[in-house]
Amino acid sequence: MKNIIGIFLIALIFFTGCSDRDFNSDIWKTNKDQRFYMLNDIVKNKILIGKTKQEIIELLDTVDIKRFNYTDNSWMYIVSIPYLVPVPQQPIKVMDIEFENNKVKQTTIRN
């Protein structure tokens, strides 16, 4: 039992330390497990601010993603949080993208 707890703590420290990564559109589009780690960079560094809806679609490759919901001025992008073990319900983070005059005005992250 102590071994399992030790392994879990080491994994937790490893994944906590590796939580933030620079946004890379190619990696975002091809590796869904990496999206969670890029969210903070997108919001903190305002990577999407000022971009058009078409530019967002090209950067995030959202055309065929069924979890992607949008209205005229507010888009919601759901990103799964990767876990080492299967869980009954996959935890998520939500990136809200707010538009004004068809350009991104603000991005936020919520649980």
- For the chain, what is the mean pLDDT? 81
Sheet holding 74-80, edge to edge: 69-70, 74-80, 92-100, 103-110
Is pTM beyond 0.85 here?
Answer: no
Where does the pLDDT of residue 85 fall: very low under 50, low under 70, confident under 90, or very high at 90 and above?
confident
The mean pLDDT of 66-78, rounded to a whole number, is 76
| 8, pLDDT greater than 90 | no
